Structure 1
Amino acid sequence: MMKKQRVGAIVLAGMMMLSMTGCGNSKAKAYSKYVTLGDYKGIEYTKTVAAVTEDDIQSKLDSFVDGLAETNEVTDRAVEDGDIVNIDYVGTMDGEEFDGGSATGQDLTIGSNSFIDGFETGLIGHNVGDEVSLDLQFPDPYPNNTDLAGKDVNFKVTINKISVKTTPELTDQLVKDNTDYDTIDAYKESIKEDLKKTNETNAEKQAKSDIFDKVVSNCKISGYDEDVVKDLVDEEFKSFKNTADSYKSYGYSYEDVLSMNGYDSEDSLKKGITEYVKKYLDQKMVLYCIAAKEGIKVSSEETDKKVQEYMDTYNVKTKEEVYNYFGDDYFEVLVLSEKVMDYLKDNAKLVDSTEADSEDTEAADGKDTTEATTTEASSESEDTTEDTESTTEDTEATTAEDTEATTTEAE
């Protein structure tokens, strides 16, 4: 099923913004005519940290072992459940091919239920080189493509290759050969410590997000620069349309993409985009007004450092490439937002914290070994702009997907 797209992007520890850059600090002074700041010091908040569980640790161990699995070709038998088959297939309805119904060289794990009922099981027992004809029916409803729901279809499938995936057994030797640790227990302990740090970081981001939400709600927003609103809405609408177009090759119509995003018409889409834009502008204008009032500024050295971090992380060769994509002032505003968020948290009041023991990760004595406060971490981020996600995230090779989630963008 196609991944559900979402208009806008995640910033400021989980709050919405658009994937647009703009005119920079020259706009900041104009925001004050739209914003009356409310209380932004002494904001009460809770900080809760998710406990590390045995399931969390096991999931990491499973991923570790799965990453060391080997895939080997099988040439002496027919397809079995669990095999990976490489196939070509052509789908037809009433003798005519349909969009998204054909592919070549596609790997498919039998039993994964990636295809409609009968497709994968229909290949079991067949050999490399066989052409298999499958008369099937799309389920009804079929949210992936409502035009196909309940329709009869024929797939002609050619089996190119059969492979099996072999996963190694988790042993001390496997750990020693592939990590910096000598035993499973030592590796599990390192995983637990890493997860604790991650949970703490996520809780910190969520706390800042909660504080900023309250700060924005305390402010009075009297209006917007309508030209700015129009430009942002038009840009996001164009981005959405481009994304929808890119999914035509997978058999999804424009109406399908609208529906998957929760919209029943283009008018409702534009209304939704406009709401996101205004929420973004609320946050951005408040951010700038607080920074101006408290004298929070950003130096060129701080901006350069942030750009270099991005280049190092994503192996970008030149600053010019970065600025061409993000715009001239993106990273300046990124640093500014981090500083304002830190300032707000430093001047906020922690009023509640709930502690919970993490599950025991040492089988020897069965005792709890760590304590942490509990809660769910915030979504995003991701990442960073994994945490700036725009409607073009699936088609942009150099998106801002992994920029720090506590960012915002310049106008």
Structure 2
Amino acid sequence: MMKKGKKWSCLFLAASMTAALLTSCTKQTTPTETPEATSSVETTAAETSSAASTESTSAAAETTAAYQYSEGLTEDGFFENLRALDYVTLPSYQGIEIPADVHTITEEKIQTSIDTQLSAYAKAEQVTDRAVVDGDTVNIDYVGSIDGVEFEGGTTRGAGTSVTIGVTNYIDDFLEQLIGHKPGETIQVEVTFPENYGKEELNGKDAVFVTTINYIEGEMITPELTDDFVKENFQAQYGWNTADEMKEGIRSDLQKSAESEFIWNYLMENSTISEVPEAVLEYEKGQMIQYYTSNAAMYGVDLNTFLTTMMGVASVDELVEKSAEDLNNSAKRRMIVQAIAEDASLGVTEEDLILYFTENMGTADYRSYEEFYGEGYLKMILLNEQVTNLLIENAKRL
């Protein structure tokens, strides 16, 4: 089921262009990891989208497909035929003063971040000593068949799926038939697909799902913060081996994030931009469309369905119109980045790319990323990193 996500708002370089985004974008294009079709017993927005949206969606897809990440950029990561300093008057950016309440990270903030990290590893207690009741969240496996023949999309393939009786929307009274049975039992759930289910081979058909109740989900159990837990779960990605190293790493990350946000707010408020070139605005639009197209693909739905269901807009044009202010602000920030890079004579070398990908992606070979995103786009990402690091390193902490 799709969950409402954060609205695209001032997503600079598509959500800061962190290594994590590069990973997720690449993952979305891996053929072997294409999201499978929704299970045939669950009702989702994807199943209820109308065929009438196909034509407009196809047009939007063609527009997005034609958009390239590096289109309009030089190989050095700057906008083609555009000198940002011709449009941007910068304030003094060396020695920006950062108040103590910004760069001082409290123990409370650190603990909140730790709690968030640990909650991602929380697991539900597996209850197996009582019968299922209405409202329970139950982990089940099933294999569906019609007239004794299994059909596509009618099985969990033994992977298990968690459902909540009375909440999760399965066909007919599928989940209610689990009530009164205990974990470990395998029962035959008999249902009838709706006449207008949407799949000709299933419409109005009687089906049997051989269903095993694995366990009832109890209270969530959050792991304790220990050196062993940190080493097992965070060493590979963050290099943390102990709880103290984790706390210090979080403190450093929170400080850099807070300082970066303060500095960029300062530059946005104190820079003067005579005009935002249309080419930069069009680039921002393309980035936004690509961002939502990738998200739609992750959920296995078309762009229009995603925009209607998740964003509350009927088309790409409406999305662009509603996002006009955000797009303009993102374009201004991009102009400021390039202006500082020009003023400070910053540039990205091949060695910089190798170091970045080695540290953030675990590989020195960035050719697959370059093929997908283009050299200009990758260097734009690193220019943003260079500018931000320059500003933070030269800031004055009060």
Same fold (TM over 0.5): yes
Q: CA deviation at 1:34?
A: 1.8
CA separation of 1:300 and 1:243: change in aligned 2, threshold 3 A: closer
| 1:47-97 deviation per Cα after TM superposition (whole angstroms, max 9, x unaligned) | 142425777667766766749x9x89x9x997675542113579xxxxxxx
Counterparts in 2 of 1:41 and 1:134: CA distance versus 1, 3 Å: farther
CA distance in 2 between partners of 1:271 and 1:134 (Å): 44
| 1:20 maps to 2:69 | yes
Matched residue of 2:83: which SS? helix
- Matching of residues 8-407 of structure 1 within 5 Å: 8=11, 9-11=14-16, 20-21=69-70, 22-25=73-76, 27=79, 30-45=83-98, 46-51=102-107, 66=123, 81=136, 83-87=138-142, 103-105=154-156, 107-109=160-162, 111=164, 115-116=168-169, 120-126=175-181, 127-133=185-191, 158-164=209-215, 190-191=242-243, 193-234=245-286, 236-237=288-289, 240=292, 243-244=295-296, 247=299, 254=304, 257-258=307-308, 260-263=310-313, 266-312=316-362, 318-351=365-398
Distance 1:224 1:297 in 2: 23
Once the two structures are TM-superposed, the CA of residue 295 in structure 1 deviates from its matched residue by 3.0
Contact between 1:290 and 1:340, CA under 8 Å: does it hold in 2? yes
User: For the Cα contact (< 8 Å) 1:307–1:331, is it kept in 2?
Assistant: no
Assess, with a 3 A threshold, how the Cα gap between structure 1 residues 209 and 111 changes in structure 2: closer, same or farther.
same
1:370 counterpart residue number = none
Equivalent AA in structure 1 for residue 376 of structure 2:
D
8 Å CA contact 2:189, 2:210 repeated in 1: yes
Pair 1:89–1:59, CA change in 2 (3 A): farther
SS at match of 1:288: helix
CA apart distance, 1:12: 7.8
Q: Deviations over 1:129-163 (max 9, x none)?
A: 41244999xxxxxxxxxxxxxxxx99967243222
Kindly tell me: are residues 242 and 12 of structure 1, through their superposed partners in 2, closer, same or farther at Cα, counting changes over 3 Å? closer
Question: How far apart are 1:112 and its partner, in Å?
Answer: 7.9
Distance 1:319 1:266, change over 3 A: closer
Instruction: Confirm or deny: 8 A CA contact 1:84 1:162 kept in the other structure.
Output: yes
DSSP 3-state at the match of 2:168: coil
CA distance in 2, matches of 1:42, 1:112: 59
Q: Deviations over 1:162-208 (max 9, x none)?
A: 223899x9999xx8997879xxxxxxx93354134213312212211
Structure with more of its chain in helix, by fraction? 2
Corresponding letter in the other structure for 2:178: L
TM-score by length of 2: 0.58
CA 248–303 in structure 1, closer or farther in 2 if over 3 Å, else same? closer
- 2:61 equivalent to 1:3: no
CA RMSD of aligned residues (A): 4.9
What is aligned with 2:52? none
Distance in 2 separating the partners of 1:56 and 1:237: 31
Give, as a single letter, the amino acid of the residue that structure 2 aligns with 1:163: N
Once the 2 structures are TM-superposed, how far is the Cα of residue 230 of structure 1 from its aligned partner? Answer: 2.8
Give the Cα separation in 1 of the matches to 2:227 and 2:107.
Answer: 27
Residue equivalent to 1:363: none
Unaligned runs of 5+ in 2: 22-66, 146-152, 195-203, 233-240
Secondary structure at 1:109 match in 2: strand
In 2, the alpha carbon distance for the partners of 1:103 and 1:34 equals 59
Instruction: Give the partner amino acid of 2:105.
Output: V
Question: TM-score normalised to the size of structure 1?
Answer: 0.56
The question of whether the paired residues in 2 share the 8 Å contact of 1:229 and 1:277 is answered with yes
Aligned residues of 1:87 and 1:157 also touching (Cα < 8 A): no
Note if contact 2:227-2:243 (Cα within 8 Å) is conserved in structure 1. Answer: no
Q: Is the 8 Å Cα contact of residues 357 and 365 (structure 2) preserved in structure 1?
A: no
1:294-340 residue CA offsets vs partner (Å, 9 max, x unmatched): 2334343222211333452xxx6943212112211334333332232
**Which residue in the other structure is 1:144 paired with?**
none
Instruction: Find the aligned partners of 2:300 and 2:231 in 1 and give their Cα distance.
Output: 46
1:158 partner amino acid: F
Whole-Å separation in 2 of the counterparts to 1:44 and 1:12: 26
Q: Distance in 2 between matches of 1:163 and 1:285?
A: 55
AA aligned opposite 1:258: T
Query: Match for 1:327: what amino acid?
Result: G
Structure 1 unaligned spans of 5+: 91-101, 137-152, 182-188, 352-411
Aligned residues: 304
CA contact (8 A) 1:57 1:192 kept: no
SS at structure 2 position matched to 1:27 = coil
Partner Cα distance (1:319, 1:54) in 2: 36
